Amino acid sequence: MLFNSLDFAIFFPIVIIIYWIVSKKIVLRNSFLLIASYVFYAWWDWRFLFLIIFSSFIDYIVGLKLNQTENKSNRKKLLFLSLFVNLGLLFFFKYTNFFIESFIESFSLFGKTLNINTLNIIFPVGISFYTFQTLSYTIDIYRNQLKPTKDWLAFFAFVSFFPQLVAGPIERASHLLPQFYKTYNFNYKLVKSGILLVAFGLFKKMVIADRAAVYVNEVYNNVEDYGGVGFTYATILFAFQIYCDFSGYSDIAIGLARTMGFDLMKNFNSPYISKSLTEFWRRWHISLSTWFRDYVYIPLGGSKKGKIRTYINLFIVFVISGLWHGAAMTFIIWGAIHGLVLMVEKGTFKIKQPIFNKLGLNTKNTSNHLFFGFIIFFIVCIAWVFFRANTLNDSFYIINGIFTDFNFGDVFNKETYLIGLKTNEFKVIILSILLLFAGELLHLKYNLIELLNKQGLIFRWSFYISIVIVIVLFGVYGDENIQEFIYFQF
**pLDDT tens digits, the chain, 490 residues: what are they?**
788 888 888 999 999 999 999 999 999 999 999 999 999 999 888 888 999 999 999 999 999 999 998 999 999 999 999 999 999 988 888 877 666 666 556 555 555 655 665 556 677 888 888 999 999 999 999 999 999 999 999 999 999 999 999 887 999 999 999 999 998 889 888 999 999 999 999 999 999 999 999 999 999 999 998 888 899 999 999 999 999 999 999 999 999 999 999 999 999 999 998 988 999 999 999 999 999 999 999 999 888 888 888 899 999 999 999 989 887 899 999 999 999 999 988 877 554 554 445 445 555 566 677 888 889 999 999 999 999 999 999 999 999 999 988 877 777 777 777 787 888 888 889 999 999 888 888 887 878 878 888 888 888 888 888 888 888 888 887 655 566 777 777 6
Q: Provide the residue ranges of all domains of the chain, joining segments of one domain with +.
A: 6-186, 190-229+240-274+399-489
Calpha distance 417→425 (Å, rounded): 11
Among 175, 285, 325, 369, the one annotated catalytic: 325
Pick the closest to residue 234 from 385, 411, 337 (CA basis).
385
* Number of other residues whose CB lies within 10 A of the CB of residue 452: 16
Sign of CA dihedral 353, 355, 358, 362: negative
The answer to whether 171 and 287 are in contact (CB under 8 A) is yes
Is residue 325 part of the annotated active site? The answer reads: yes
Helix H or strand E segment including 456: none
Pick the closest to residue 29 from 193, 190, 181 (CA basis).
181
What are phi and psi for residue 142, nearest 5 degrees?
-60, -35
